Structures are given as C-alpha cells and as structure tokens.
Amino acid sequence: MTSFLHIIKYSTGVRPRRCSSTQEDSVASFQRNRCRGINDIRNLLERLQTHKIQHDFQSMVFDFQPTFGDQVLLFVSGQMIVDGQTGQPSVFNDVFTLQHFNQPGQPDGWYIKNHIFKAFMC
C-alpha cells in the first residue's frame, strides 16, 4: 500500500520515488484533453498546475486489480477543492494503469501507462 500512496502523491504534485511517471507509450486524458508521450503529458500537467488543488484524502475511495502481464489497474474517487473554493468541492474519478518496467542498470520501477481523470463540480 505504501507504493500505491506514492502514486497518489504524484497526482498532488509530489513526485514519487521509483516511479518514472510516464514513458513514450503513455496516454493521458484530463477532462477532454488527451495526449500521448512524455513531453505532451508533461506540457498538459504544467498547464493544469496553474490551479491550486487540495484533495480530501478522507473522502477518497481506492480500488485496484492486477491486469495483463505486469500491470495494475487503479481507480480513485473522491473530492477536491480547486483554487480555495471550500464551499464548492469537486468530485473526481481517476483511473490509471501502472506498468512495471525493468531497465538494465536501473532498479525495477513503475510508470503510468494509461491515465483518465474526470472532475465534476458539485
């Protein structure tokens, strides 16, 4: 569970250890924006960082399952506050696939292969 929480911290802006985040075969969808590859995903995340996001960790629901090969499917749902609007929390759903990788000369690790994020204003 500790490794999983490192991945959750990734979505809050704290880069987890032993996770390269994305690779060239990674695909991400945030609301209606879809992109592929390290640079496109990084550019999208940088544009999204103009907002201050505060997650309500107590409201979060986590579920995960092993899938094909060395992958894990994760689902996270909960509430978050955007730009300090405490009276209007947003509900979010976050689905992603973690892919295990092992590169010569480096420790085993994980990266986000597929990522779908949707938020809804309450």
pLDDT tens track for 89-118: 788 898 999 998 877 877 788 889 999 988
Largest CA distance in the chain: 50
Residue of 34, 93, 80 lying closest to 54 (CA atoms) = 80
Beta bridge partners, 29, equal 34, 116
The larger pLDDT score, comparing residue 33 to residue 10, is at 33
Q: According to the model, what pLDDT value does residue 19 have?
A: 47
pLDDT tens track for 36-68: 998 888 887 777 666 677 777 778 898 999 998
- Domains present along the chain, CATH in parentheses: 2-13+52-121 (3.10.450.50)
Q: According to the model, what pLDDT value does residue 11 have?
A: 47
Residue of 97, 64, 93 lying closest to 79 (CA atoms) = 93
